[in-house]
Amino acid sequence: MTDRQTKQTQMSIFKEGITVHALNNLSPNTMVEHLGIEFTAIGTDFIEAKMPVDHRTHQPLGLLHGGASVVLAETLGSVAATCCVDMSKQYCVGLEINANHIKSARTGFVTGVAKPIHIGGRTQVWEIKIHNEKAELVCISRITMAVMDKK
């Protein structure tokens, strides 16, 4: 491991032990699994997932449903927020989400990347950008999360 890789690992905003495999193991029997969302990467300050654009995520005109984009965004923001807290003591829940749909998609996959805007003790704000396979922006979303103490 290089000095740069070591520094990046030490600077991660996420708790130790968070892996793509572990995140994908959270999906069975959820909407995440139903829509085919798959976590694909974790960096020092981002989490990435992809979602198919197919019969599960289309609206009646054959385009990616805006609600499916919001599900991808909320999944990424919620999981990312949770990965930043001590899960034995706290959990995160959504307070507000918004989305701007920029471009349509009909086939293939879209990929979302969640990055933090604010990570505080009681709230977190995450930006999620969703791109198509041509790297064109399809949707941009922002989610505000409440950090709750377990009782």
By annotation, the residues acting in catalysis are 74
C-alpha to C-alpha distance for 115 and 135, rounded to whole angstroms: 17
64, 106 Cβ separation under 8 angstroms: yes
C-alpha to C-alpha distance for 50 and 98, rounded to whole angstroms: 19
Look at residue 26 and give its three-state secondary structure. coil
Tell me the CB-side half-sphere exposure of residue 61, using CA atoms within 13 A.
Answer: 6
